[in-house]
Chains A and B, each alone.
Chain A
Amino acid sequence: MESQKSAAAGFWVAASFGAGQDVGRSCILVSIGGKNIMLDCGMHMGYNDDRRFPDFSYITQNGRLTEFLDCVIISHFHLDHCGALPYMSEMVGYDGPIYMTHPTKAICPILLEDFRKITVDKKGETNFFTSQMIKDCMKKVVPLNLHQTVQVDEELEIKAYYAGHVLGAAMVQIKVGSESVVYTGDYNMTPDRHLGAAWIDKCRPDLLISESTYATTIRDSKRCRERDFLKKVHETVERGGKVLIPVFALGRAQELCILLETFWERMNLKAPIYFSTGLTEKANHYYKLFITWTNQKIRKTFVQRNMFEFKHIKAFDRSYADNPGPMVVFATPGMLHAGQSLLIFKKWAGNEKNMVIMPGYCVQGTVGHKILNGQKKLEMEGRATLDVKLQVEYMSFSAHADAKGIMQLIRMAEPRNMLLVHGEAKKMEFLKDKIEQEFSISCYMPANGETTSIVTNPSVPVDISLNLLKREMALGGPLPDAKRPRTMHGTLIMKDNSLRLVSPEQALKELGLSEHQLRFTCRVQLHDPHSDNDTLGRIYTHLKSVLKTYSIQHVPDGTVIVESIVIKVTSSAEEPNLKVILLSWSYQDEELGSFLSTLLKKGLPS
């Protein structure tokens, strides 16, 4: 990669270099128009050692990445897309700009800090980034607004588009000169209750890079997922049990609250629903972020009903956890690794009438992760064991694009090439065929660590002078047609920032040069007993029989002319039979001239 910082027609992409063939992390390198861009910098959540980080030695063996990368772009705050960012910027070393949307900038550090705490404090790991490193990393962040073109430098520009999926998630268009790439990150094409669907204009990028984790799935509707959620909560509450829903402070919580509130109202339910105080504190901050990020339609719905004033949902006090009877509690943190949600969990775990609903992914090492793996006995502090008798439910609400969604996005953006990352090539041949046939574009599916080269066909616009155009028209042939290339003769002048095509005469005039004419001469000796004139006549006849398609003239002044080639015959008085044939031709007829001289050297037929 170090040697490939050169401009070429085309660019290349390398995805997720480092351990693991499965979907674990997103980290893609694109080299386009001489610029190197890193797209996402995720952590592989399945590994406990250095294999979880991308292998940056792929970029350079010599440590710091600043001079090799023009910028880093982060699509959204999920750890498999940004988890390795502080490691990369502070431990490996990168001081250039890191681009992400405003909500991503606000939420990333919170998630990274949570993640750091679990990994270092709970699991006692040492080779990991510190809190200060997270802060230093975020100082390098340049926030992006949707649909706003940002000039990274004179040649490289980027633009963010709405991706749906989670708050702040963006798809990014990267443009250098006339070449462009769009990277989707994670996105969804079916609108969510509060997030809407991804959208991009017909920007016709040379390449569209899309995640393909869910490319071969057909997703169950959001409504049915919500239905199951309500069903589980209802069943538990009906039998007198308590429901704990550990949530991340910012995100899915609000949506689930609204869902429950609507349901409680409709079914006239009486069981209390609580919202832990940690959530309400951050709620306003989240609300502001959200309102500026989301679109008009959704904003109106949220403004109509104040998101944080619920009729049935009240603030939680820790003493309520001991109250008898059914209740529902939303508490942080989301992975049950510490704090209030873990405290409540410990109190309620022993009763099989209760339920815990995990609405998202849990990092290894957390109680959340353990119970989702079916563990029934947990080791707590002080060697105490906790029996997990309550019902554990894993419900995923995250929105991803499936096979249909990918096709919709391609229809929207109209890329010239397609690249799918994080899928198994063997299992996606049908999708590749489908894309190639429906859109007549190439579809690439590189394995992790593999480099794909994309060849582009950039068009270079050039102004043509009217005179030259008229001259070309006068030559006849088919009319100019954008779809039919036509060879023509002219001079290209590149001056300042313009490219112009003019006739050679015009070019000479502009440059103040005079045209040089080149003529070649050649003498061929021949033994011929005839007179000079007769020899010339024989030459004429011979040439006429050989060069049937050329214009050959026998001029009375004693020359034969073939195109621009002039042929004369002379002889000396002493040796009248030794003829000297003089050939002369202009540079343009070099080939024919050489041919004639070779031909005549062979002599004339008798």
Chain B
Amino acid sequence: MDISSDESDDWFIESLNTYKDLHVFQLEHPTKVIEWTGDKNICVAGYTGSRSEILELLLPLKLYAGENQGLCAERDFKVQHGGFSEEPIESLIHISGTRCVVTSGSSSSTLQIWDIGGDDSDVIKRTGVINLKSTSVKGCKIAPGLTDEPAVLHGSCISEVQLTEIATGRVLYTVAKESSDSVSGLQFVNACVFLICASDGTLFMGDTRDPSTCHYPLEDSKSGLHWAFGLRSDSSQSEPSGCTVARLSSSGHMLLSDLRNLQSPFCQTQLNVQHDASKNDFLNVSWAPVLDRCLSVSGKKCSSPQPVFSHRGHEMSDEAKYSGSPPVVTTHSWHQSRPKTILSVATDGSLHVWDWVDKITDR
């Protein structure tokens, strides 16, 4: 309120020029997941505490008001559906075309299947489980199948990766690879082709029509590093030719590869990041769905090369001021259709929705 040189105030004043839209929210419990369940809906879930909430939230309508934005005062998130999970949730995926989400937690040896619900009730109910071969503290990695029949690809280590049909529990495909490397992420490229990124950066590409899987280890693999990956495809039914994979290591090494030639990345660069072994959990790299050749990174502080934009909102929030250490962004997600809108969440429970100004093109 007073004229002060408070950094946070400065940042907010600066934001008038640097952001088109900026919304800051505080969730009761922090989340590690943001998953789109509709054009205007996302799911988040708690990971601290033994009992966690899963929430389906409706984005502030003001973002969608277009020309009438001035007359729309609705700038809050609405909790549309909520449910309780008996374990902290590490991953959450939505099965497209349904009201079904699947979660994996850090303490059980099952995947949980949920029905988010419709208009008649606001309670998210558990409808089933998929049994896993083992429990993983980091939670089993999961990805939605892209076939008509809902299925989920899952595994915490390479040899355990399989595709399970949700309704029946039937195993549709197993990766025939004897590897105990842990999975960092996995994703389907189209209905049959999928990609797995191991924690050490090795890529595996498989096809559910073909029992063998090809693997592409890194040329220069350093131990102790953790790798995250992000897949860009033109649509959910792409051919490998239209897809690019980005891999980012915890030491800031970035590799871009074309799916036609996973052995040799077509582009490499080194980001100058804080190397902190304990904070690899939240390393995240994503491709912008609308903007061309634009990547976003969260979970690590990057000082160079100069990014197109850096969102410091989470450090600048009022909550961050009073806590001992600055919050870490746990994950982020691009809006599906608005080119420059991003949602980001952090360890202090903050949830931001922001749309930045590109100084070059937007002026």
Contact = CB atoms under 8 A, between A and B. Distances in A.
The interface centre, meaning the residue of A219, A265, A395 with most chain B CB atoms within 10 A of its CB, is A219
Contact of A429 (B25, B53, B121): B121
Nearest to A298: B1
Nearest to B19: A227
Given A216-B79, A220-B60, A394 B16 contact: no
Contacts of A48: none
A220 B352 CA distance: 9
A84 to B, nearest CB: 25
B87 interface: no
A231 B13 CA distance: 9
Interface in A423-463: 426-431, 433-434, 437
Contacts of A220: 23-25, 60, 75-77
Given A305-B2, A391-B70, A429 B123 contact: yes
Contacts of A221: 23-26, 317-318
Contact of A434 (B23, B53, B317): B53
Interface in A387-440: 391-396, 402-404, 407, 426-431, 433-434, 437
Interface string A146-173: 0000000000000000000000000000
B78 interface: yes
A265 B9 CA distance: 13
Contacts of B34: none
A284 interface: no
A267 interface: yes
Contacts of A266: 3, 13
Interface in B8-66: 12-13, 15-16, 22-28, 53, 57, 60
A225 B74 CA distance: 11
Nearest to A394: B73
B123 A433 contact: yes
The size bracket of the interface on A is 35 or more
Most chain B CB within a 10 A radius of its CB, from A216, A266, A403, A431: A216
Contact of A224 (B23, B28, B124): B23
Interface string A209-240: 00000101111110111010011001000000
Contacts of B76: 214, 217-220, 402
Nearest to B57: A218
A218 B71 contact: no
Instruction: Tell me what chain B mostly uses at the interface: helix, strand, loop, or mixed.
Output: mixed
A345 to B, nearest CB: 16
B73 A407 contact: no
A115 interface: no
Nearest to A194: B1
Q: Which of A305, A394, A430, A433 lies at the interface centre, i.e. has the most chain B CB atoms within 10 A of its CB?
A: A430
Contacts of A396: 73
Contacts of B173: none
A274 B60 CA distance: 33
Contacts of A225: 75
B259 to A, nearest CB: 39
B291 interface: no
A393 B27 contact: no
A267 B23 CA distance: 22
A372 interface: yes
B126 to A, nearest CB: 13
A237 B91 CA distance: 47
B72 interface: yes
Contacts of B23: 220-221, 224
Contacts of A223: 12, 24, 318
A301 B3 CA distance: 12
B123 A430 contact: yes
Nearest to A232: B70
Given A221-B24, A265-B3, 11 more contacts: A214-B76, A218-B78, A224-B22, A262-B3, A301-B2, A403-B79, A404-B26, A427-B122, A429-B121, A430-B79, A434-B84
12 contacts: A216-B122, A217-B78, A218-B79, A230-B16, A267-B13, A301-B2, A305-B2, A373-B71, A374-B71, A403-B28, A404-B27, A434-B84
